[in-house]
A and B are shown apart, each in its own frame.
Chain A
Amino acid sequence: MEQLDEIVKEFLVESYENLDQLDSDLLALEEVPDDLDRLASIFRTIHSIKGTSGFLAFPNLEKVTHVGENLLVPLRDGELRLTNEIADGLLAMVDAVRDILRQIESTGVEGEGEYADLLSRLEQLKDPGAAAPPITTDESSDFSDNPGDNDNAGGSEATIAPAATTEDTIAVAEHSSETAADFTALEATASLDGQSPSSNTADSSSEVAASESASPAPTPPQKPAPETQPTPVAKAVEPKRGSDEPDRSSHNLADSTVRLDVKLLDRLMNLVGELVLSRNQIIQFSRRIEDASITAACQRLNLITTELQEGVMKTRMQPIRNAWSKLPRVVRDLASSCGKQVEVVMEGAETELDKTILEAIKDPLTHIVRNSVDHGIESPDVRESNGKPKEGTLWLRAFHEGGQVNIEIVDDGGGINIARVKEKAISRGLVSEEQVEQMTERELTNLVLLPGFSTAAKVTNVSGRGVGMDVVKTNVEKIGGTLDIHSVPGKGTTLRIKIPLTLAIVPALIITSDGDRYAIPQVSLLELVRLEGDRAKREIETIHSVPVYRLRGNLLPLLYLNQELRTATFSPETKTSETVNIVVLQAEDRQFGLVVDEINDTQEIVVKPLCDQLQSISAYAGATIMGDGTVALILDVLGLARQGNVVTENHEKAISNAGFRSNDQGTRGHSVLIVDPGDGGRVAIPLSSVARLEEFDASRIEQVNHRPVVQYRGQIMPLVGVDGAPTYASGSSDLIHVVVHSRNGRDIGVLVGSILDIVTESNIDLASEERIIDGRVTQVVDLSRTLAHLALPDEFSAA
């Protein structure tokens, strides 16, 4: 079974199921011969098996199903009425198919079986008026004798010209096949040649038992007279199949997989969502009760729920290969029509993501790949003159990172011609010349994502039909993803899609505004800024009454959530005297600050859709139920940004935010997080190695093998110091600050005294140990290096 490849396996599983269905369909059809729907369904099943078997190169199977299909056509079209004989014939065909499938499953090949007599019988059934077609004996393992006919074990049965008699024997035949097989293997081949035309089939080379005669009269070995009316025999088919079942090889593929309705999975997913909410509620209650046994029970509940959630999510997960599989073909066809040579390389095809998301990215992926081949990769002679191999390469890469799936489509083509993009964007009126001058290369590259943009100098039938990358971008954003283009002229282009693993349960930041709680999906969350007292007044400036904040030297437009939602009971001016919480969010390529009253905490929330009447409000992405049972709205960051004109629909005011992308490692500086490790010193940690910043109550620290750990997002997170050694909170404060470093899907918490700042420094050499940042000596720590030795969970629990 191991040697079977994936496609064949799937084919087998699917076909077994279909065949079982087919049996019952056929029997039902006998009752109601005119049930056209059923006939059509039978036809489709046979047709699809035929198609696949042809594709997988199983000629015997194809032949059998082909003839069966031929018989089904007049039935379906009403030219032929289903009789018992025909039903028998079809059932025999189903058995034959099942037999071949079993052969394939156990040996990987179709086996020796020949089904000539079955074929001829089916042919004949199809055309009852015509002269009896050639009949052959079938000595294959499949059709031997009647069940009761033990003494005739070696005998292959005769097939006899008149239809009515023939199929009876065959239909019942396969039971004793095992015994018969040995004897008949030889004859099988011989019998083929021995086909005689018309009404007889004396296969002379057959053994004695196979003394089939041309005459309608049954031959002696055939105990149940073939002449007997078909009906009882048709019945006999049933029990025989039943008894046949246990004979199957124990490792039947169909037994190891179950096909499920996706709806059932969706329902399970919903229920698990409910469970997660109830769990959150119970845990909240249990905190009020100081009872060890309740706490223990809650912890178990917590763990089980998390595992269940993961398990159910897994059932919906599919490898991205499913979305990629058709791409090589697309590329091949496209390349040959463009006269290019392109090789497709896939990496990380096993990466799994939610089925819904998988479906949603199929089309965008195809579009991007077509674009890459059409516009990206140059023709062979151009490539050669540029010193590249004739054959272009297209990489498809997928990998998990920080709860998201990254998909990269990389080509080694000419890259995006920035000059042409500029020219085009200006000529199309998408941006002004002044704006273009201020834009960074990256921003210019991403101009191709604007609606109405297409750089193809000539419109081909492949791409450049006006349906541009903007559609791709919209589709990706619809499922909460982002699209980014990076291009190096002459070297190639990289398109990166980041999408969430699943849409149903997402981590979110809970905030309060005017007494109501709202959830902000963490995907769009960049950082939190808190301005206290005077700072708030001083640092929030206005440009013609539009509030802005200088975040590391760049102007960050501010939106007040209470104003956006029109819940404001007082103006922001009066507010500025208090503490201001700014949630820095990313919407498309812009950043903006959302001013909220209070920042509560982060939580895994279950996204529930809003009712129809509320769906038109772009500020909300859905609703969720909080731990205390109340409903909270989930903010749609992009919707809010659009509403607040941070992101304008027509992109006319493309405000350049050069140097703003904090974790852009390209031409700009590194952003580093400055922390106090607890001893009053300064340590700089590159932001790229920081997954999140968290605060925990010091009481939440637990111990495993004398090492401090904390429960975090359903996992056990070890706590270490910046040097990688296990450490406890210094000082007596109740809150501990933790820098979460994520590696291989596991989180490691780096305990620090306090978080000081985030600064962007150009040319930080991560290798150097110390440098001066903001006028103070700061130690640079690369977490991925200092924590490299750190035990991952296995060792952790074993130690």
Chain B
Amino acid sequence: MNATATTSLRETFCTFTLGDLFFGVEVLQVQEVIRHQRMTRVPLAPERIQGLMNLRGQIVTALDLGTRLGFARRSHDEAMNVVIRTPDGVVSLLVDEIGDVVEVNRQQFEPPPDTLQGVSRELIRGAYKLEGRLLLVLDIQKAINEAA
């Protein structure tokens, strides 16, 4: 995923909001964005696992990113799915709203300040200082894997 970063200064992000946060995931990692789907809950599973859904015959695990970041659990009926390809398979992140695809300049990037602590510090790789707001870069691998 760093291939684009090293070859050019520009990167493209798929953005979405979660609570009051504005996140971005490198666009090449995103398989698709879909509306809320019917989920099958998985009892006994870690809290961040929202359920399983049927994506054209493929069973995809949906992760509640909000829970992962420590937001209170909300109703997910309105949630959108950002379906992401990872080395371990396809997962879906439940987010509040889908934003635009934005192109950013690497020079706008800055790692998170030390005052950012806890889980968020692990999941947020840094921020792009866009005009008017900060685009937070999500560390997908960490977001998916075991709770910190």
Contacts and interface: CB of A to CB of B under 8 A. Distances in A.
B145 to A, nearest CB: 8
A166 to B, nearest CB: 55
Contact of B59 (A566, A567, A631): A631
Interface in A597-645: 608, 610-614, 617, 619-620, 623, 625, 629-633
Given A516-B41, A619-B44, A631-B59, A613 B53 contact: no
A611 B88 CA distance: 8
A278 B57 CA distance: 9
A630 B144 contact: no
Interface residues of B, number: 23
A625 B57 contact: yes
Contacts of B59: 608, 610, 623, 625, 631
Contact of B44 (A612, A617, A623, A632): A617
A297 to B, nearest CB: 21
A630 B54 contact: yes
A625 B44 contact: no
A633 B61 contact: no
A565 B40 contact: no
A132 interface: no
Interface in B32-69: 38-46, 49, 51-54, 57, 59, 61
B113 interface: no
Nearest to A515: B41
A631 B44 CA distance: 16
A421 interface: no
A534 interface: no
Most central of B53, B59, B145 by chain A CB within 10 Å: B59
Contact of B43 (A278, A567, A612, A625): A567
Nearest to A623: B59
Interface SS majority for chain A? mixed
Contacts of A612: 88-89
Contacts of A274: 57
Contacts of B45: 613-614, 617
Contacts of B39: 631
Contacts of B54: 625, 629-631
Nearest to B44: A617
Contacts of B89: 611-612
Most central of A608, A612, A613, A633 by chain B CB within 10 Å: A613
Contacts of A409: none
B57 A630 contact: no
Nearest to A611: B61
A277 interface: yes
B39 to A, nearest CB: 8
B91 interface: yes
B43 A613 contact: no
Contact of A614 (B42, B57, B145, B146): B42
Contacts of B61: 610-611, 613-614
Nearest to A278: B57
B49 A516 contact: no
B49 A630 contact: no
Nearest to B53: A631
A280 to B, nearest CB: 12
Contacts of B40: 516, 623, 630-633
Interface in A542-572: 565-567
Given A567-B43, A623-B59, 14 more contacts: A277-B57, A278-B57, A565-B43, A566-B44, A611-B88, A613-B46, A613-B144, A617-B44, A620-B42, A625-B59, A631-B40, A631-B54, A633-B42, A633-B52
20 contacts: A516-B43, A566-B44, A567-B43, A612-B88, A613-B46, A613-B61, A613-B144, A613-B145, A614-B45, A617-B42, A619-B43, A623-B40, A623-B59, A629-B38, A631-B51, A631-B53, A631-B54, A631-B59, A632-B40, A633-B40
Interface of B: 38-46, 49, 51-54, 57, 59, 61, 88-89, 91, 144-146
Closest 8 CB pairs of A and B: A565-B43, A631-B40, A631-B52, A611-B61, A274-B57, A567-B43, A623-B59, A608-B59
